Structure 1
């Protein structure tokens, strides 16, 4: 069975993120997209526009000294412009370790991601990890 185009787009995005390939990520994200990061920490909030999203991804790498790793678990699609990418996230920062499961709900229009709504399994753990 062929991979659904939305699943292929999300998979390509996860692979690019893992490689640190920001040019490929930029090509997958609409110029006016928004990435919603949950929590109550310095990185939480809404990142509006392709540049703001890419800048946030770069900050993740800087804040974790490049230790952030995503293990893609699965991708589910609804065939109507939504995909959910589940992954395990591991990172180290300021003597703290993060090992959590989460997902991003992607809204896809045409061949671009227009909205990314991130969810984490343990919001308290995430807030503690990313706190200053």
Structure 2
């Protein structure tokens, strides 16, 4: 019974994550959903790819992809005691540049918060091309941008 409760809590946590993402409520995401020392792994060879560390850096990443009107719609969620897997449609548009594909994320849940997320694109090549077209060389990696804003 305890495991079923944990699974349900984990599913609810990821559903809340998507609700915050969809509404742009990044402060609630940072305060209530992400672990302070969360790690988010973005695959690819584009300006936004790499390992994001800490809630602040991850929230900055989500604020950045908002430039491309990036949206997500959950297709399926499954969970275990410490993990959630989501399959979602993710799409974005910036001028004539568009991307629309399925993505899979594997979340590690610890103490009621997202501790780690690993992102997988259905077509990594297409994702790389889109992010390069939108951000090109103008965008420094998130850690460098955070340092330069101080």
TM-score surpassing 0.5? yes
Indicate yes or no: 2:38 matched with 1:44. no
**TM-score scaled by length of structure 1:** 0.92
Answer yes or no: is the 8 Å Cα contact 1:68–1:92 preserved in 2: yes
| 1:116-131 → structure 2 map (5 Å cutoff) | 116-131=117-132
The residue number in structure 2 matching 1:30 is 35
Of the two, which has the highest radius of gyration? 2
| 1:88-127 → structure 2 map (5 Å cutoff) | 88-127=89-128
**TM-score scaled by length of structure 2:** 0.81
1-structure distance, mates of 2:126, 2:53: 25
Answer yes or no: is the 8 Å Cα contact 1:93–1:129 preserved in 2: no
> What is the root-mean-square deviation of aligned Cα atoms in Å?
1.5
Tell me, which stretches of 5 or more residues in structure 2 are unaligned? 137-150
Q: Whose helix proportion is higher, 1 or 2? A: 2
The residue number in structure 2 matching 1:76 is 78
2-structure distance, mates of 1:107, 1:36: 12
Indicate yes or no: 2:11 matched with 1:7. yes
